[in-house]
Copies of this chain bind each other. A is one copy, B any other.
Amino acid sequence: MPSFSDRLAEAVRAKGPLCVGIDPRWESLPAAFRKPREEMKYMWRVSVALAEFGVRVLELVRPFCGVVKPQSAFFELLGSMGLAAQHTVLNRAREMGFVTVLDAKRGDIASTATAYADAAFGGCTIDGETFPVWDADALTINPYLGRDAVEPFLTAAKKADRGVFVLVRTSNPGAGLFQDLVCDGKPLYRHVAAEVANWNASTIGACGLGDVGAVVGATHPRELVELRDAMPNVWLLVPGYGAQGGTAADVKAAYRADGLGAIVNSSRGVTFPFHPDDPDWEAKIVAAAQKAQAELRS
């Protein structure tokens, strides 16, 4: 199997940098998914609807993007039943050839971090046999706990040819509270970026980029320029485009001269561009994905 970074490069070369975020919310689902099976118990009914809507979105956006990012929180909100829907969406996305990024922002230490990493990548080993769990191509992780909160993820990713995206500079308005604190002459996020570049260095694939990526929000264009320079061989996962206010012009800075180097996520903007009662919701998703692909490629 090609390395994670090379699989990502292939997807971006084929379909551009658009990454569609699958963040299904019951109250936003098209009426078609909310009405049937009213006899089912609520939690199951909603979980089944999340899976079915998520899979339908995959089918609709497939011509326009090669990468999808399910947001674990919206599945976890339905408990173990919702997480069964997360299994379904990740499985179908993989079968359809998408590169999958599980957005779960995990972070813990030692054997606990290894448990999260095995769940995401290599699977659960029971009496010598290994069973896939989320089986994602990449996972978002949180660096606050330090070296031993990241290394188990790097080890598990390496072993299974997968990747991680480490939170560096997030897209939210309050991100700077800690990320912008200046330590030894540079902001905290630059210290994290330096470690990411370092962890990434031994994982460079044929495409010239590595398997240890960084999350950098589209809502901070100045930092995006700075971080692209600081991490020249690091894939950037750029949230904040679309509904959160980042524009296609803002994210240009994330691409390298070769056109690779970033995937740009849109969740609500592509997957919920309709009112729940709108019968034309499928056409609106297709139009939104097509528009985002064109904007991000131009």
A residues with CB within 8 A of B? 23, 25-26, 42-43, 46, 71, 73-74, 76-81, 83-84, 86-87, 105-113, 115-116, 118-119, 124, 126-127, 129, 131, 133-134, 142-149, 151, 167, 170-179, 181-184, 188, 191-192, 195
Closest 10 CB pairs of A and B: A147-B174, A146-B177, A181-B183, A109-B172, A73-B115, A148-B174, A80-B84, A80-B83, A144-B144, A146-B174
CB of A143 within 8 A of CB of B144, answer yes
Copies in the complex: 2
Q: Report the Cα distance A191→B175, complex, angstroms.
A: 14
CB of A115 within 8 A of CB of B181, answer no
Q: Closest approach, in angstroms, between the C-beta of A43 and any C-beta of chain B? A: 6
With A109-B170, A172-B109, A174-B147 as known contacts, state yes or no: A79 contacts B83, CB within 8 Å.
yes
CB of A116 within 8 A of CB of B73, answer yes
CB of A79 within 8 A of CB of B144, answer no
Q: Report the Cα distance A148→B178, complex, angstroms.
A: 12
Q: Report the Cα distance A170→B181, complex, angstroms.
A: 19
User: Which B-chain residue is minimally distant from A145 (CB atoms)?
Assistant: B170
Give chain B residues whose Cβ lies under 8 Å from the Cβ of A43.
Answer: 124, 126, 131
Q: Report the Cα distance A238→B259, complex, angstroms.
A: 47
User: Which B-chain residue is minimally distant from A172 (CB atoms)?
Assistant: B109
Give chain B residues whose Cβ lies under 8 Å from the Cβ of A131.
Answer: 42-43
Give the contacting residue for A119; candidates B73, B111, B115, B175; CB below 8 A: B73
Q: Closest approach, in angstroms, between the C-beta of A21 and any C-beta of chain B? A: 10
Q: Report the Cα distance A115→B71, complex, angstroms.
A: 10
User: Which B-chain residue is minimally distant from A182 (CB atoms)?
Assistant: B183
Give chain B residues whose Cβ lies under 8 Å from the Cβ of A78.
Answer: 124, 133
| 14 interchain pairs, CB-CB under 8 A | A25-B111, A73-B112, A77-B118, A79-B83, A79-B133, A105-B107, A105-B142, A105-B145, A109-B171, A143-B144, A144-B167, A144-B179, A146-B179, A149-B174
Q: Report the Cα distance A46→B261, complex, angstroms.
A: 41
User: Which B-chain residue is minimally distant from A240 (CB atoms)?
Assistant: B109
Q: Report the Cα distance A126→B80, complex, angstroms.
A: 16
Q: Report the Cα distance A110→B268, complex, angstroms.
A: 13
CB of A134 within 8 A of CB of B184, answer no
Q: Closest approach, in angstroms, between the C-beta of A164 and any C-beta of chain B? A: 15
User: Which B-chain residue is minimally distant from A174 (CB atoms)?
Assistant: B147
Q: Closest approach, in angstroms, between the C-beta of A129 and any C-beta of chain B? A: 7
Q: Closest approach, in angstroms, between the C-beta of A179 and any C-beta of chain B? A: 6
User: Which B-chain residue is minimally distant from A23 (CB atoms)?
Assistant: B112
